[in-house]
């Protein structure tokens, strides 16, 4: 039987076995008002303290919106039309009804990418929003995973569940790293956030599995305003994977997520992202705007937070995963590959804020630009007066494929303590024709040559990703490079 026929069978059987009954897709009318906030809180069944939390943020955001011209952040090296915040609908019920009846209805280009990435059929269906029969393996895999975590006392659930079941933890830490006053989009997110992940790892526990959003089940498709909170208690370790290599299509254009990480004494959080949001069509229209505030705080001494990312999608990427190094001897790391082509724009980087003593940070950023795209690295290394003996090493390299794209570096260094040692290296290169010719002279096509050279360029960063993610990431980069040369 062909794959499609099999899928038709499965899709039809979902109704036969009485799959989820929620047929109506509930959506709030577009616009932002206090009523909408109440509506969101009501639909999600939130306790009063959460509602109040949202309202505070909402009022602050409205005050910013009123003075839009002054308050809207425009310092990034990005060009895009103004967003009409009153035209967005801020709530949609979790989609329990599948979006498509079969893979036949999904954009063939997306399917082609799935195929090249070697994604198994059932996962393709889930990613594309096709109904998955309850009997299929993917659900039982997720169940086993949850059992394993429960054994160690590790909490991994949606934000919604956490607000209901672990309010003390949420109250204590939500907004502690990114308060709603932090920036324009953090304020909006705090008011209307849809869902996201909550992780708590108890003292001394080393999480045995890589936590991935894939296993969070429940709501297929990602929310527009996700909120993630990860807490690693003393002496614990967790590795979290966000995103996937498959191209994520979404009708929402604006994605303004907030991710907060808290590492207590002797704890370590490793957060990896491979993001491939829809970049828009050949003219660059309709792509996702990915504006994210990600920040971690090394609260306790000897704690460590590392961010690793491969960003290859989105029409516009605007994010600076950062680390506040408060605890003595704490370590912050940022490894990033940002690849832009077509008409994509990226303004991404990090902030390492050294507050405690003997803190260390490492920044390795690789920006690759092709087509007509613009790729900027923006970073801040700040050493406060209290930060004795701070050390930082930054390496920011840009590579241009072609001569219509741009790569820029905006490093900021603010040092208020004379014992700091800060090293910064930056290179910009264009893949040399000599290098390509050398590869060709050894029998390699121009495309293979570019893949090898770009891979070599990104190696240090990709090596930081957990293994399976790294292999997927390499494949994704190779696919993205195809046809972006010239």
Positions in the binding site for another protein (CB under 8 A):
432-435, 437-446, 448, 452-453, 455-460
DSSP string of 15-62, one letter each residue: HHTT-----S--BPPSS--HHHHHHHHHHTT--HHHHHHHHHHHHHHH
Nearer to another protein, 412 or 438 (CB): 438
Q: Which is nearest to 139 in space by CA: 154, 122, 152, 121?
A: 122
How far is 152 from 141, CA to CA, in rounded Å?
18
SS3 of residue 309 by DSSP: strand
State phi, psi for 268 to the nearest 5 degrees.
-140, 135
How far is 230 from 157, CA to CA, in rounded Å?
11
Q: For the CB of residue 475, give the shortest distance to another protein in the complex, in Å.
A: 15
Q: For the CB of residue 124, give the shortest distance to another protein in the complex, in Å.
A: 28
Nearer to another protein, 130 or 449 (CB): 449
How far is 294 from 307, CA to CA, in rounded Å?
9
Cβ atoms of residues 142 and 215 within 8 Å: yes
Q: For the CB of residue 438, give the shortest distance to another protein in the complex, in Å.
A: 5
Q: Which is nearest to 50 in space by CA: 163, 168, 161, 162?
A: 163
Nearer to another protein, 138 or 440 (CB): 440
Neighbours of 444 (CB within 10 A): 15
Q: For the CB of residue 453, give the shortest distance to another protein in the complex, in Å.
A: 6
- E strands within 355-485? 360-370, 374-383, 391-401, 406-415, 421-430
Neighbours of 393 (CB within 10 A): 15
Q: For the CB of residue 441, give the shortest distance to another protein in the complex, in Å.
A: 5
Nearer to another protein, 86 or 429 (CB): 429
Chain centroid to Cα 28, Å, comes to 25
CB burial class (10 A; 0-12, 13-18, 19+) of residue 398?
Answer: buried
Cβ atoms of residues 92 and 25 within 8 Å: yes
| 21: Cβ contacts below 8 Å, ≥ 6 apart | none
Nearer to another protein, 18 or 443 (CB): 443
Nearer to another protein, 86 or 445 (CB): 445
Nearer to another protein, 246 or 458 (CB): 458
Nearer to another protein, 70 or 434 (CB): 434
Q: For the CB of residue 399, give the shortest distance to another protein in the complex, in Å.
A: 11
Nearer to another protein, 41 or 464 (CB): 464
Sign of the torsion angle spanned by Cα atoms 173, 56, 86, 82: negative
Task: Provide the angle, in degrees to the nearest 10, between the axes of the packed helices 34-43 and 184-192.
Answer: 50
Q: For the CB of residue 452, give the shortest distance to another protein in the complex, in Å.
A: 5
Nearer to another protein, 286 or 456 (CB): 456
Q: For the CB of residue 449, give the shortest distance to another protein in the complex, in Å.
A: 8
Nearer to another protein, 95 or 395 (CB): 395
**Per-residue CA distances from 211 to 208, 271, 392, 474 (Å):** 9, 10, 29, 20
Q: For the CB of residue 485, give the shortest distance to another protein in the complex, in Å.
A: 14
How far is 144 from 147, CA to CA, in rounded Å?
5
Q: For the CB of residue 352, give the shortest distance to another protein in the complex, in Å.
A: 24
Cβ atoms of residues 300 and 264 within 8 Å: yes
Nearer to another protein, 370 or 439 (CB): 439
Q: CA angle, 97 as apex, 286 and 28 as ends, to 5°?
A: 60
| 108: Cβ contacts below 8 Å, ≥ 6 apart | none
Q: For the CB of residue 155, give the shortest distance to another protein in the complex, in Å.
A: 40
């Amino acid at each position: 039987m062909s794959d499609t026929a099999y899928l038709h069978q499965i899709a039809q059987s979902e109704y036969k076995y009485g799959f989820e009954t929620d047929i109506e897709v509930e959506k709030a009318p577009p616009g932002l008002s206090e009523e909408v906030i109440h509506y969101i809180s009501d639909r999600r069944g939130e306790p009063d303290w959460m509602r109040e939390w949202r309202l505070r943020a909402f009022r602050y955001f409205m005050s910013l919106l009123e003075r839009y011209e002054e308050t809207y952040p425009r310092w990034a090296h990005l060009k895009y039309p103004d967003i009409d915040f009153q035209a967005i609908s801020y709530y949609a019920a979790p989609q329990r009804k599948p979006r498509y009846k079969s893979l036949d209805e999904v954009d063939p280009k997306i399917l082609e990418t799935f195929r090249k990435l070697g994604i198994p059929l059932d996962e393709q269906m889930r990613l594309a929003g096709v109904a998955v029969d309850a009997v299929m393996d993917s659900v039982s895999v997720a169940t086993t995973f949850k059992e394993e975590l429960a054994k160690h006392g590790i909490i991994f659930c949606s934000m919604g569940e956490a607000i209901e079941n672990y309010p003390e933890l949420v109250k204590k830490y939500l907004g502690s790293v990114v308060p709603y006053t932090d920036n324009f989009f953090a304020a909006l997110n705090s008011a209307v956030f849809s869902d996201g992940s909550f992780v708590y790892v108890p003292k001394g526990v080393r999480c045995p599995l890589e936590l991935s959003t894939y296993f969070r089940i429940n709501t297929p498709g990602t929310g527009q305003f996700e909120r993630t909170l990860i807490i690693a208690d003393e002496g614990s370790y967790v590795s979290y994977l966000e995103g996937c290599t498959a191209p994520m299509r979404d009708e929402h254009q604006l994605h303004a997520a907030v991710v907060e990480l808290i590492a207590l004494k002797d704890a370590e959080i490793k957060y990896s992202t491979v993001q491939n949001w829809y970049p828009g069509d050949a003219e660059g229209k309709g792509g996702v705007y990915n504006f994210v505030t990600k920040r971690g705080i090394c609260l306790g001494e000897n704690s460590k937070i590392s961010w690793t990312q491969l960003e290859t999608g989105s029409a516009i990427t605007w994010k600076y995963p950062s680390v506040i190094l408060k605890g003595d001897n704490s370590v912050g790391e940022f490894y990033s590959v940002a690849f832009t082509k077509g008409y994509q724009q990226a303004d991404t980087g990090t902030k390492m804020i050294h507050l405690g003593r003997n803190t260390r940070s490492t920044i390795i950023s690789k920006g690759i630009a092709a087509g007509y795209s613009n790729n900027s690295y923006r970073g801040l290394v700040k050493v406060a007066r209290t930060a004795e003996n701070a050390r930082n090493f930054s390496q920011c390299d840009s590579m241009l494929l072609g001569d219509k794209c741009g790569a820029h570096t905006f490093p900021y260094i603010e040092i208020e303590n004379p014992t700091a040692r800060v090293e910064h290296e930056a290179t910009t290169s264009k893949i040399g024709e000599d290098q390509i010719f050398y590869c060709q002279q050894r029998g390699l096509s121009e495309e293979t040559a570019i893949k090898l050279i770009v891979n070599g360029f990104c190696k240090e960063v990709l090596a930081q990703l957990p293994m399976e993610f790294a292999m997927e990431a390499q494949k994704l980069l190779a696919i993205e490079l195809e046809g972006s040369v010239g």
